[in-house]
Amino acid sequence: MDLLLRAAPGARVLATSREPLGLAGETLFPVEPLRPDDAIRLFTERATASAPSFTLDGEIREAVAEICHRLDGIPLALELAATRVRGLGVRELAARLKDRFRVLTAGQRGAPARQQTLRAVIDWSWELLGEQERIVLRRLAGFAGGCTLDAAEAVCAGAGLPREEVLDLVTRLVDRSLVVMADSPAGAALPAARIGGRVRDGATARGG
């Protein structure tokens, strides 16, 4: 792409990627999780397609809102969950999401392998990380509600990982959309804030 832009300086390229491309003139437009109402709307559309008898009434809406919250408003996770409505119903689905990796295993047949299950999504991202990035992500996963950068450096350093290298490693995880840096109190580093419990659970399962 760099060669293309050099050959055609006036060209504009719209690209999607899990991390910045690092090209001159690049402008980032982060894709945020769906807002609650939009998440409920997407889940309802997909659930209705899977189970035509599905109806979003008062009590069911509460369960759907809980599902959307547990899945952090991530479209792929919501679509995987919606396919389970036909077999589980909404309330049972919400209850079983405590073990989301066992539940969200029914992707569309034509989708790429990494989008077939929730576990496959996490494994794909994990395999693209270097060993030190994995160490930092595993250790950050212990902070369910996020932590300050000082706390991240204190917890992630050690066992061969110098404290002064933690900042760069956290930054790489931010670039890979696995950690979000927030301007909230004390500039918290929020592990897995972008995709919430999915990454945290996946990293925790791989040990400390």
Q: How many CB atoms lie within 10 A of CB 18?
A: 11
Q: From 37, 40, 21, select the one nearest 29 (Cα to Cα).
A: 21
Helix (H, G, I), strand (E, B) or coil at 116: coil
Task: Go through the chain and tell me how many residues it has.
Answer: 208
Q: What is the pLDDT of residue 44?
A: 96
Q: What is the pLDDT of residue 193?
A: 36
E strand or H helix that includes residue 67: helix 58-70
DSSP characters for 8-40? -TT-------SS----TT------PPPPHHHHH
DSSP characters for 75-105? HHHHHHHHTTHHHH-HHHHHHHGGGHHHH--
Q: What is the pLDDT of residue 67?
A: 94
Contact 45, 78 (CB under 8 A): no
Q: What is the pLDDT of residue 58?
A: 82
Residues in the chain where the model's pLDDT stays below 50: 187-188, 190-195, 208
Name the DSSP class of 117.
Answer: S
Q: What is the pLDDT of residue 43?
A: 96
179-181 and 188-191 as β-strands: parallel, antiparallel, unpaired? antiparallel
Q: From 107, 120, 115, select the one nearest 81 (Cα to Cα).
A: 107
Q: What is the pLDDT of residue 198?
A: 56
HEC per residue, 128-191: CCCHHHHHHHHHHCCCCCCEEHHHHHHHHCECCECHHHHHHHHHHHHHCCCEEECCCCCCEEEE
Q: What is the pLDDT of residue 202?
A: 62
Give 143-198 pLDDT, tens digit per residue.
777 777 888 889 899 888 999 999 999 989 988 888 877 665 554 454 433 335 55
Q: What is the pLDDT of residue 191?
A: 43
